[in-house]
Amino acid sequence: MTKKIFLCAISNINSGTCNEDCKFCSQSVKYKADIERYIQKPIETIIEEAKAARASGALGFCLVTARKGLDDKVLRFVCDVARSVSSAVPDLRLIACNGTASVEQLLTLKEAGVKAYNHNLETSEAFYPEVCTTHSWQERYETCQNVNKAGLKLITGGIFGMGETQEDRISMLESLKSLNPVSVPLNFYHHNPALPLKPNPLTTDEALELITMAREIISDAERIMVAGGREMQFGDRQNEIFAAGANSIVIGNYLTTQGRDKKSDLEMIKELGLDIATKV
C-alpha cells in the first residue's frame, strides 16, 4: 500500500512576544532576535493563509501564539480565529499551539472548533534546565496530560541538536511515548545568532537514525512529522526522511524561519511515488 504523507501548515498568529528564556527560541523578547513581532495577526490574513495551505494539500493548520501559556485575552483571540477559519475552510483540521493550558482552557478551544493541541516536551526532563529556567519540563508534561483529559488529539515532540546526549534523546522519546500522542513533530535546532544556545549540529545520517528511532519507540503514533529545521538539516537528502519513518511534514514557512517552497515539497512527494493524505 502506498504511503500517505500528511501535510500540515502553521500560522504564527502572535509573534515574538514571549517573556520566557528558552535558549532555543527566537520568539523570546529576552534575546532581541531580528524577527517580525506583533500581538495579533489580522484574522483576514490568517484565513488567506489557511486557504493557501489547503490548496497545497495541507490537512492540518496550526494556530501558534508566542507566549508561555493561555490567558483569557489570548484564549478569546485563538477561539475567534478558530471559528473564523473553520467557517472559511471547513475541511482543515485545526490545531492550536498556545503553550501551557488547563483542561478548562482546552475544552474552550475544543468548543471553538480546535481538534488537536500541540505542546512539545522539547527535550529530556534532565536536560531541560540547560535550555530553559523560567518554567519547568514538568509543566509541559502536565499540559500534554491535560490535552488528553480534554479529549483533544495530542501532538507533542521535541528538538534535536541543542547539545543533548543520546541518552537525553531516548529519554525524551520514551516520555513522548507515555503520553500516547497522535503525532510527533521532530524539530532540528536552527540557530539564530541572537540566541545564547550554541549550535551542536547532527550529521544527516544521525538525524535520519533519530527519525527511525522515534518511529520504533513511539510505534502507536499515527504520524512522525519532520518539522522545523528540515531544509537545513537534510539539504538535498530530504527525500530520505520518509524511508527513515516519517509520514508527515510541515509545508510552507515555519514560525520565524523560511521553509522550502511548497511546489518543491509536492514534487518531491510525487517523485517518490507517495500520495498526499486526503483525510485524517
pLDDT digits over 84-116, tens only?
Answer: 999 999 999 999 999 999 999 999 999 999 999
The rounded distance, in Å, linking the Cα atoms of 100 and 60 is: 21
Mean pLDDT, rounded, for 156-173: 96
Residue among 177, 112, 115 at smallest CA distance from 151? 115
Record the pTM.
Answer: 0.95
Span 4-276: which CATH code?
A: 3.20.20.70
Alpha helices in the chain (DSSP H): 43-55, 72-88, 103-111, 128-131, 137-150, 166-178, 204-217, 230-234, 241-244, 262-271
Question: What digits encode the pLDDT tens for the residues 201-257?
Answer: 899 999 999 999 999 999 999 999 999 889 989 999 999 999 999 999 998 765 655
Domain ranges of the chain: 4-276
